[in-house]
A and B are shown apart, each in its own frame.
Chain A
Amino acid sequence: QVQLVQSGAEVKKPGASVKVSCKASGYTFTGYYMHWVRQAPGQGLEWMGWINPNSGGTNYAQKFQGRVTMTRDTSISTAYMELSRLRSDDTAVYYCARVTRHIVVVPAARDGMDVWGQGTTVTVSS
Chain B
Amino acid sequence: QSALTQPASVSGSPGQSITISCTGTSSDVGGYNYVSWYQQHPGKAPKLMIYDVSNRPSGVSNRFSGSKSGNTASLTISGLQAEDEADYYCSSYTSSSTHVFGTGTKVTVL
Q: How far is the CA of A7 from the CA of B75 in the complex (A)?
A: 33
B45–A114 touching, CB < 8 Å: no
State how many angstroms separate the Cβ of A84 from the closest Cβ of chain B. Answer: 20
A46–B36 touching, CB < 8 Å: no
Q: How far is the CA of A95 from the CA of B3 in the complex (A)?
A: 18
State how many angstroms separate the Cβ of B82 from the closest Cβ of chain A. Answer: 23
Count, chain B residues at interface, CB 8 A: 28
Contact code string B92-106 (vs A, CB < 8 Å = 1, else 0): 010011111111100
Q: How far is the CA of A100 from the CA of B55 in the complex (A)?
A: 12
Count, chain A residues at interface, CB 8 A: 25
* Complex interface: stretch among A8-16, A18-26, A67-75, A103-111: A103-111
Q: How far is the CA of A49 from the CA of B46 in the complex (A)?
A: 17
Known: A47-B99, A100-B57. A112 touches B48 (CB 8 A): yes
Known: A44-B103, A95-B45, A117-B45. A112 touches B3 (CB 8 A): no
Q: Which residues of A contact B47 (CB under 8 A)?
A: 116
Of residues 86 to 107 in A, which have CB atoms within 8 Å of B's CB atoms? 95, 97, 100
Can you offer 19 A-B residue contacts whose CB atoms are under 8 A?
A: A44-B3, A45-B46, A45-B104, A50-B99, A59-B96, A59-B98, A61-B1, A95-B45, A95-B46, A110-B32, A111-B51, A112-B36, A112-B91, A113-B38, A113-B46, A113-B91, A114-B51, A114-B57, A117-B45
User: B residues touching A (Cβ–Cβ < 8 Å)?
Assistant: 1, 3, 32, 34, 36, 38, 40, 45-48, 50-52, 57, 87, 89, 91, 93, 96-104
